[in-house]
Structure 1
Amino acid sequence: MKKYASIIVSDNLKIRPGEEVVIFADRKNLEYCDDLACCIRGSDAQVSTFYIPEIIRPVEKITDIHSNALISADAVIYILETKGEKLDLSKEVAFRHYLCSLPIQYKGRVCMMPGFSEEMKEAAMIDYSELNRRSRNLKQILTDKNIRIMTDLGTDVRFSLYQREIKIDDGDLSKPGLFGNIPAGEIFTAPVEETMNGRLVIDGSIGGLGQVKMPFRIDIKAGIIQSMDPIGKKDDIFEKFSEICEYDSPATKRVGEFGIGLNPGARIIGNMLMDEKVEGTVHFAFGDSYGLGKSSTKYHTDLLIRNPSIFVEDRCIMKNGKFIADI
């Protein structure tokens, strides 16, 4: 039952004897915290936990006690719930920023597992050496190329990746300064904003909002959302995403990310932590580009597209969600 935790500790983080690990968890995720702590102790490492009750969330700033622990930790694991009736994650931006950046500035590495659930265990128990091989091959295919994404529902968008750094999320969190998610399994970058034109049809899920029930269209010019309209009637998810786009406009309407899922054990459940890793999907984000592009804001909203066809310089590498190129 703890195999997923053993893999995270031994294969992803590669915890070594004598290391100090800090876990941040809440009530819903205490079982996963216990599993990880058990495996960490089994590796002859030391583990400390911070329990974050729902009543004090959102946590808007980090405490001195948190800071001291993060600075001294060799590894940090974050397992907090991402949904709640009164939970506004935008107010936890500063807390998450320091939780990730402080360990990396010193000697630590960070494993982010926000909203981890039972459905994600299989996606954590994959062949990471194979994921690494395929990620690197796909990165080489995409580097500095012109890309076109199409779907049967009407997505048809073009953009360039010229001189844009492509990041690999292959689950390797073994060295100081590394940061990543579990489940892992994507490559991502930021399109060259002014080259992105066309239409997206969103039919997968939206970060923080869940699975899309009513697909909707987004028309884009020079990397900025020009208009949006539902295919059918408007629903709550469409309305909420429309609101998010106005939070810090135009930054929240500017493209900030393009990614391709590569995890064969992942499936769409409405949580972007795993959804964006599903093989046979692509995702775009609007808002902050994490330093990979020009967009900068405290907001970053991912949108998932199912069963895409991907063209690289007019060469089709994926057809309706299936790789046809050898990666």
Structure 2
Amino acid sequence: MQAGAFVTGSMEYLRAPFVHNIKPGQRVLILTDTAHDPRVWQVVQSTLCELGAEATVALFERRPADYYDPPSAVIEAMMKSDVNVLLASTGMLHCPANFDAMAAGIPAICMDGGMTLEMFQSGAVTEDMKQVAVRKHYVSKNVFGDDPKECRVTSAYGTEFTYSVDGRITRPPLPGDDFDPYRIINFAKDENRPGNNLLYYLFPTGEFNVAPVEGSANGKLVIDLTMHHLGRLYTPIELTVKDGRVVSIDGGPEARILKDYLEAYGDDNAYMCPAEASVGVNAKAVIRGIQREDKNIMGTLHFGLGTNVDVGGTVKSNIHMDGVILHPTLYVDGEKKIDGGRFLVPIEG
């Protein structure tokens, strides 16, 4: 963003999560960093003040990777807040500090991962969020079914990958007439996803989360669209996975960057794969070259490295990195359910 850039366009979508969740007098902490577009936190703070909240901005240097904690002074402030707004250029939803805050009953409104002001005005945020909830239910019911065991994924770039989902598929309920698509979610209660005191609203949303059985994956996984921290990929990244661990990373420049990144900021568990194998269900999401939106694109699959306790697994790591396949083909127990990014079963209800 150039210095002196103006705020333009409608703020309707950016305001929605705050209008639905924030009450007058609440203490709201906005976490952001020096790498983020300042127009966004300025609009957020103005909105919170308009709603009568006591809004404070915590501005700090960019963290080196997703899931890294903010500075210690900010961590202390998070525990004294009524709501934490995560608006950093790196993902902080599942950093240890926010897990502690959620465990204490302090919810988060998550808008982090480098979203631009323009991303709050078009694309994924404009989707009917109730319909996203409907699709999550039917992806569970019709794509995976009642007792799925194994998934196989292929793609035009050479993906040939299998993993177990035995006991790992949750089923979010269909939204009722009183469903509020913008309210903070208690995932154990509202989406049948127990564990880890998950208490947040993710904006935009648009993915059906799956945490495959640890150690079950084998084959070649080729990420072809976008990867955390790398952005839009110009050359695919080939991950060779054996018994749930990445054993080699091959490809062009982006593959080298990923190797170096994992060595610098990862740990032993950062090579666990797939930490996540989730399905995109947002029909308004578009290719941005920013993983935060791209992974929501309808019919995509994104696969994670590292931590997965947040999506129903058991692995904790310093980091979590998602990579997106744009046109995957997915087989569940031998039956093709997604063909080149196109659903072969109904997911609209």
Normalized against structure 1, the TM-score is what? 0.82
Work out whether residues 184 and 200 of structure 2, in 8 Å CA contact, stay in contact via their aligned partners in 1. Answer: no
**Alpha-carbon RMSD:** 3.0
**Distance between the aligned counterparts of 1:119 and 1:157, measured in 2?**
35
**Distance between the aligned counterparts of 2:215 and 2:64, measured in 1?**
38
Q: What is the deviation of 1:117?
A: 0.6
Q: What is the deviation of 1:214?
A: 1.0
**Distance between the aligned counterparts of 1:223 and 1:296, measured in 2?**
14
Question: Which residue number in structure 2 is paired with residue 23 of structure 1?
Answer: 30
Give runs of aligned pairs for residues 265-304 of structure 1, distance below 5 A.
265-290=284-309, 292-304=312-324
Which amino acid counterpart does residue 325 of structure 2 have in structure 1?
Answer: I
Question: Which residue number in structure 2 is paired with residue 116 of structure 1?
Answer: 115
Question: Which residue number in structure 2 is paired with residue 174 of structure 1?
Answer: 184
Question: Which residue number in structure 1 is paired with residue 127 of structure 2?
Answer: 126
Q: What is the deviation of 1:251?
A: 2.4
**Distance between the aligned counterparts of 2:171 and 2:217, measured in 1?**
19
Work out whether residues 223 and 236 of structure 2, in 8 Å CA contact, stay in contact via their aligned partners in 1. Answer: yes
Q: What is the deviation of 1:186?
A: 0.7
1:224–1:312 distance in 2 versus 1, CA, 3 Å = same
Question: Which residue number in structure 1 is paired with residue 278 of structure 2?
Answer: 259
CA offset digits 1:218-253 (Å, max 9, x no partner): 2222222233332xxx21x11021234445565232
Is the aligned partner of 1:41 residue 2:58?
no
Give runs of aligned pairs for residues 1-327 of structure 1, distance below 5 A.
1-11=10-20, 14-27=21-34, 28-52=36-60, 62-64=71-73, 66-82=74-90, 96-98=95-97, 100-114=98-112, 115-121=114-120, 122=122, 123-141=124-142, 142=144, 144-145=147-148, 146-164=150-168, 166=170, 172-174=182-184, 178-230=199-251, 234-235=252-253, 237-246=254-263, 250-255=268-273, 256-290=275-309, 292-327=312-347
1:196–1:125 distance in 2 versus 1, CA, 3 Å = same
**Distance between the aligned counterparts of 2:260 and 2:75, measured in 1?**
34
Work out whether residues 5 and 39 of structure 1, in 8 Å CA contact, stay in contact via their aligned partners in 2. Answer: no
Q: What is the deviation of 1:26?
A: 3.7
1:253–1:50 distance in 2 versus 1, CA, 3 Å = closer
1:60–1:314 distance in 2 versus 1, CA, 3 Å = closer
Question: Which residue number in structure 2 is paired with residue 85 of structure 1?
Answer: none
**Distance between the aligned counterparts of 2:84 and 2:153, measured in 1?**
36
Work out whether residues 220 and 227 of structure 1, in 8 Å CA contact, stay in contact via their aligned partners in 2. Answer: yes
**Distance between the aligned counterparts of 1:266 and 1:150, measured in 2?**
22
Paired residue total? 308
CA offset digits 1:29-48 (Å, max 9, x no partner): 33212222233233333322
1:60–1:310 distance in 2 versus 1, CA, 3 Å = closer
Q: Percent identity?
A: 22
Q: What is the deviation of 1:166?
A: 4.2
1:220–1:53 distance in 2 versus 1, CA, 3 Å = closer
Which amino acid counterpart does residue 212 of structure 1 have in structure 2?
Answer: L
Q: What is the deviation of 1:173?
A: 4.6
Q: What is the deviation of 1:104?
A: 1.4
CA offset digits 1:253-277 (Å, max 9, x no partner): 2211111111222222222221211
